């Protein structure tokens, strides 16, 4: 199977405020096939789920090991990693990370910077998440589910290969979570792969594969369905 990405022999430590060093990963290996739709990343709080997403996103270059994306080994330097992220990866956070002073449309346009037709792609992204006609609305007037849809639109506006989502439904009720999972499924149908860090059994069950971060490694995987 051709791999979308592989992370091998990943080692990562962080220095705590008291000066001590805490190990997060010790020889972690992770791979996602190019035809896999979704992987749920599970583990207790503090196990390293968010850290792994940040490394895959190119937001953290301070690690040992190798990271290969679509056959290209990525350097551990933030500038080329940022170029890689803008070209291939969309990010979704639990807290939405919207710009409160901006409208729905301007938040998505912010993610469309550098595109040849940012306005057209923004309209397309808003339609894809079911927010057509809401572009001029202030994001401060949105429900939680609507705010997360804006964040998703911003993540997909550049048509990424991969979406990294960190607890994307953690602040939502079950009905809204179901709506967001349905949206994720439709985006996967369009060819976007997802890696989702989550504590939600419902989110995990919606994914094609689940992996568990424990004891500094990926120690388990369960195929779903």
The answer to whether residue 69 is domain-embedded is: no
Q: What is the mean pLDDT of residues 147-164?
A: 97
At 167-201, the pLDDT tens digits run 999 999 999 999 999 999 999 999 999 999 999 99
Structure tokens at 173: 């009720």
**Predicted local distance difference test score (pLDDT) of residue 65:** 97
**Predicted local distance difference test score (pLDDT) of residue 69:** 96
**Predicted local distance difference test score (pLDDT) of residue 1:** 60
Q: What is the mean pLDDT of residues 19-35?
A: 95
One DSSP character per residue, the chain reads: --EEEEEEEEEEEEE-TTS-EEEEEEEEEEEEETT--EEEEE--TTSSHHHHHHHHHTS----EEEEEETTEEPPS-HHHHHHHHHHHEEEEETT----TTSBHHHHHHHHTTT-SSHHHHHHHHHHHTT-TT-TTSBGGG--HHHHHHHHHHHHHTT--SEEEEESTTTTS-HHHHHHHHHHHHHHHHTT-EEEEE-S-HHHHHHSSEEEEEETTEEEEEEE--
Strand order in the sheet with 64-69: 21-33, 3-15, 64-69, 72-73
At 123-145, the pLDDT tens digits run 999 999 999 999 999 999 999 99
The answer to whether residue 17 is domain-embedded is: no
The answer to whether residue 20 is domain-embedded is: no
At 47-85, the pLDDT tens digits run 999 999 999 999 999 999 999 999 999 999 989 999 999
Q: What is the mean pLDDT of residues 141-163?
A: 96
What's the number of domains the chain is made of?
1
The answer to whether residue 178 is domain-embedded is: yes
pTM: 0.93
One DSSP character per residue, 113-172 reads: TT-SSHHHHHHHHHHHTT-TT-TTSBGGG--HHHHHHHHHHHHHTT--SEEEEESTTTTS
Q: Tell me the sheet residues that pair with 197.
A: 41, 166
**Predicted local distance difference test score (pLDDT) of residue 220:** 63
The answer to whether residue 146 is domain-embedded is: yes
pLDDT band at 225 (very low <50, low <70, confident <90, very high): very low
pLDDT band at 223 (very low <50, low <70, confident <90, very high): low
pLDDT at 155 over 50: yes
pLDDT at 222 over 80: no
Task: Calculate the dihedral angle through the C-alpha atoms of 184, 189, 194, 197, rounding to the nearest 10 degrees.
Answer: 40
pLDDT at 218 over 90: no
The answer to whether residue 26 is domain-embedded is: no
Give the residue from 62, 187, 64 showing the smallest Cα distance to 128.
187
CATH of the domain at 94: 3.40.50.300
The answer to whether residue 176 is domain-embedded is: yes
How much is the mean pLDDT over the chain? 94
Full residue range of the structural domain in which residue 171 is found: 38-62+81-223
User: What are the backbone angles phi and psi of residue 145, rounded to the nearest 5°?
Assistant: -65, -40
The answer to whether residue 169 is domain-embedded is: yes
């Amino acid at each position: 199977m051709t791999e979308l990405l592989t992370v091998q022999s990943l080692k990562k430590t962080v220095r705590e405020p008291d000066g001590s060093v805490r190990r997060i990963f010790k020889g972690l290996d992770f791979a996602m096939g190019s035809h896999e739709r979704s992987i749920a990343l599970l583990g207790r709080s503090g196990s390293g789920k968010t850290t792994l997403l940040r490394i895959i996103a190119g937001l953290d270059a301070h690690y040992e090991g190798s990271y290969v994306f679509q056959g290209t080994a990525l350097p551990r330097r933030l500038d080329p990693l940022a170029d890689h992220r803008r070209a291939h990866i969309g990010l979704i956070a639990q807290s939405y990370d919207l710009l409160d002073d901006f409208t729905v449309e301007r938040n998505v346009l912010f993610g469309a910077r550098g595109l040849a037709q940012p306005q057209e792609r923004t309209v397309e992204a808003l339609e894809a998440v079911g927010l057509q006609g809401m572009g001029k609305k202030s994001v401060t007037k949105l429900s939680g589910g609507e705010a997360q849809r804006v964040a998703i639109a911003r993540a997909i506006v550049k048509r990424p290969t991969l979406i990294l989502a960190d607890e994307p439904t953690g602040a939502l009720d079950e009905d809204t979570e179901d709506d967001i999972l349905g949206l994720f499924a439709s985006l996967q149908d369009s060819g976007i792969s997802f890696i989702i860090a989550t504590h939600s059994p419902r989110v995990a069950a919606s994914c094609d594969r689940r992996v568990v971060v424990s004891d500094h490694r990926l120690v388990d995987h369960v195929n779903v369905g």
